[in-house]
């Protein structure tokens, strides 16, 4: 016959052990969330890349790529980091969208970008340039299969998109919203093809402006610019003749495994390509991990926020 007091003597320590283990797990989880929110979210990094895409003999051309700022009023660390980027004195700024994460953040965004408006710039919008974020289950980001043409949830409020784009235009930046354009900077003719956000199914590719006849043609390069790097978007840029492509949207996976391994790209791109330079049919695709997050998912893990200084160099 089992003695109830002896059972209790064995069960009680086991329960205490389980409770201790559960408490340790909760504490470890809380510490990870605290690290992801209070430290990594503001651990801004500058990544550097070099893309050999210019005609032989062309001097280097330096592009500052920023994306996914998801600005909220009062983000001083992000503002200071953006201000510091002006000291790089880039030849061009490319902004691949998702600029706002709050209805009242436009003044803060323009203040943060202020010093970068001193440089030529081009921009395309992301969904978080059009619609304010809403709370979603954070696990949805990691485990929901993301598809293009998702459409807009009807409850999302409209952001001051036109006001923001008017401010960018007034500071001399060029919108590439389903349009092609050219800029000549430091003797390099930059041919751009940009699209509205593929994540919302708003992309309508304009191709590139045909190169005009010149008695003394300038060295040139063709760049595709988009927010969300869906495969169809990258393929179309390649088919149109892009020599390099710039995109954001993925947040680099945002909550990654150790080593920065992404679990998702939030689109149909392989998560292994969610950050950095990869190839689409031999054309380099530069994808930013972004500078912010939705204000309803303010965590990053093994995936610090970043800006990227991309140097275009001569081939060979
Ligand atoms: Fe984003």
Q: Residue 143 has what pLDDT?
A: 55
The dihedral through the CA atoms of 41, 47, 53, 59 has a sign that is positive
Cα–Cα dist 310/50, whole Å: 6
Residue 164 shares a structural domain with residue 223: yes
pLDDT digits (tens, 9 = 90+) for 1-28: 445 455 455 545 554 654 555 566 666 6
Q: How far is the centre of ligand 1, averaged over its atoms, from the C-alpha of 159 (Å)?
A: 14
The predicted model gives 118-128 an average pLDDT of: 98
Residue 17 shares a structural domain with residue 140: no
Q: Report the DSSP pairing between strands 306-314 and 61-66.
A: antiparallel
Reported confidence tier of residue 196, pLDDT bands at 50, 70, 90: very high
Neighbours of ion ligand 1 (CB under 5 A): 68, 98
Q: What percent of the chain has pLDDT above 90? A: 75
Residue 150 shares a structural domain with residue 35: no
Average pLDDT, rounded, for the chain: 89
Reported confidence tier of residue 123, pLDDT bands at 50, 70, 90: very high
Query: How many distinct structural domains can be found in the chain?
Result: 2
Q: How far is the centre of ligand 1, averaged over its atoms, from the C-alpha of 138 (Å)?
A: 14
Q: How far is the centre of ligand 1, averaged over its atoms, from the C-alpha of 83 (Å)?
A: 20
Q: Residue 273 has what pLDDT?
A: 98
Residue 164 shares a structural domain with residue 301: yes
Q: Residue 127 has what pLDDT?
A: 97
Q: How far is the centre of ligand 1, averaged over its atoms, from the C-alpha of 128 (Å)?
A: 7
Q: How far is the centre of ligand 1, averaged over its atoms, from the C-alpha of 182 (Å)?
A: 26
Q: Which of the residue ranges 10-24, 130-144, 288-302 would you say has the lowest mean pLDDT?
A: 10-24
The predicted model gives 49-60 an average pLDDT of: 97
Q: How far is the centre of ligand 1, averaged over its atoms, from the C-alpha of 227 (Å)?
A: 9
Residue 176 shares a structural domain with residue 253: yes
The predicted model gives 129-134 an average pLDDT of: 92
Residue 114 shares a structural domain with residue 61: yes
Residue 30 has pLDDT above 90, yes or no: no
Residue 27 shares a structural domain with residue 97: no
Q: Residue 210 has what pLDDT?
A: 78
Q: How far is the centre of ligand 1, averaged over its atoms, from the C-alpha of 26 (Å)?
A: 29
Of 285 and 16, the one with more pLDDT: 285
Residue 38 shares a structural domain with residue 50: no
Q: How far is the centre of ligand 1, averaged over its atoms, from the C-alpha of 96 (Å)?
A: 9
Q: What percent of the chain has pLDDT above 70? A: 81
Q: How far is the centre of ligand 1, averaged over its atoms, from the C-alpha of 191 (Å)?
A: 25
Q: Residue 9 has what pLDDT?
A: 57
Q: How far is the centre of ligand 1, averaged over its atoms, from the C-alpha of 67 (Å)?
A: 8
Tokens found for residue 299:
């965590």
Q: How far is the centre of ligand 1, averaged over its atoms, from the C-alpha of 106 (Å)?
A: 16
Of 212 and 109, the one with more pLDDT: 109
Q: Residue 140 has what pLDDT?
A: 58
Q: How far is the centre of ligand 1, averaged over its atoms, from the C-alpha of 21 (Å)?
A: 37
Residue 1 shares a structural domain with residue 136: no
Q: How far is the centre of ligand 1, averaged over its atoms, from the C-alpha of 126 (Å)?
A: 7
Residue 111 shares a structural domain with residue 32: no
71, 78 Cβ separation under 8 angstroms: yes
Q: Which of the residue ranges 15-29, 239-253, 297-311 would you say has the lowest mean pLDDT?
A: 15-29
Q: Residue 1 has what pLDDT?
A: 41
Of 135 and 307, the one with more pLDDT: 307
Cα–Cα dist 279/244, whole Å: 9
Q: How far is the centre of ligand 1, averaged over its atoms, from the C-alpha of 125 (Å)?
A: 10
Residue 174 has pLDDT above 50, yes or no: yes
Q: Residue 137 has what pLDDT?
A: 62
Q: Which of the residue ranges 62-66, 132-136, 181-185, 192-196 would you say has the lowest mean pLDDT?
A: 132-136
Q: Residue 95 has what pLDDT?
A: 99
CATH number of the domain where residue 134 is located: 3.60.21
Q: Residue 2 has what pLDDT?
A: 43
Q: How far is the centre of ligand 1, averaged over its atoms, from the C-alpha of 28 (Å)?
A: 28
Q: How far is the centre of ligand 1, averaged over its atoms, from the C-alpha of 296 (Å)?
A: 12
Q: Residue 189 has what pLDDT?
A: 95
Q: How far is the centre of ligand 1, averaged over its atoms, from the C-alpha of 213 (Å)?
A: 40
Residue 196 shares a structural domain with residue 295: yes
Q: Residue 306 has what pLDDT?
A: 98
Domain that holds residue 169: 46-314
Q: How far is the centre of ligand 1, averaged over its atoms, from the C-alpha of 290 (Å)?
A: 7
Residue 222 has pLDDT above 90, yes or no: yes
Residue 201 shares a structural domain with residue 102: yes
Rg for the chain, CA atoms, rounded: 23
Of 246 and 25, the one with more pLDDT: 246
The predicted model gives 305-309 an average pLDDT of: 98
Residue 176 has pLDDT above 80, yes or no: yes
């Amino acid at each position: 016959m089992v003695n109830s007091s002896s059972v209790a003597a064995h069960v009680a320590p086991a329960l205490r052990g389980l409770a201790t283990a559960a408490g340790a797990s909760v504490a470890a989880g809380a510490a990870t969330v605290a690290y992801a929110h209070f430290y990594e979210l503001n651990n801004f990094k500058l990544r550097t890349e070099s893309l050999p895409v210019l005609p032989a003999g062309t001097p280097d051309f330096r592009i500052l790529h920023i994306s996914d700022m998801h600005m909220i009023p009062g983000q001083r660390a992000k503002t200071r980091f953006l201000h510091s980027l002006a000291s790089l004195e880039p030849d061009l700024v490319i902004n691949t969208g998702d600029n706002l994460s709050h209805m009242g953040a436009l003044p803060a965004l323009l203040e943060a970008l202020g010093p970068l408006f001193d440089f030529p710039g081009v921009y395309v919008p992301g969904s978080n340039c059009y619609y304010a974020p809403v709370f979603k289950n954070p696990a949805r980001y990691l485990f929901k299969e993301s598809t293009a043409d998702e459409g807009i949830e009807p409850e999302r409020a409209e952001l001051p998109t036109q006001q923001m784009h008017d401010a960018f235009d007034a500071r001399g930046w060029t919108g590439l919203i389903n349009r092609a354009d050219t800029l000549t900077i430091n003797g390099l003719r930059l041919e751009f093809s940009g699209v509205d956000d593929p994540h919302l199914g708003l992309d309508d590719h304009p191709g590139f402006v045909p190169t005009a006849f010149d008695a003394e043609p300038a060295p040139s390069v063709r760049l595709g610019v988009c927010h969300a790097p869906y495969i169809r978007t990258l393929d179309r840029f390649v088919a149109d003749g892009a020599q390099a492509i710039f995109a954001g949207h993925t947040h680099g996976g945002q909550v990654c495994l150790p080593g920065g391994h992404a679990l998702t790209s939030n689109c149909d791109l392989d998560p292994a390509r969610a950050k950095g330079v990869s190839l689409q049919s031999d054309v380099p695709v530069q994808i930013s991990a972004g500078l912010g997050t939705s204000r309803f998912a303010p965590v990053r893990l093994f995936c610090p926020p970043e800006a990227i200084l991309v140097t275009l160099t001569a081939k060979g």
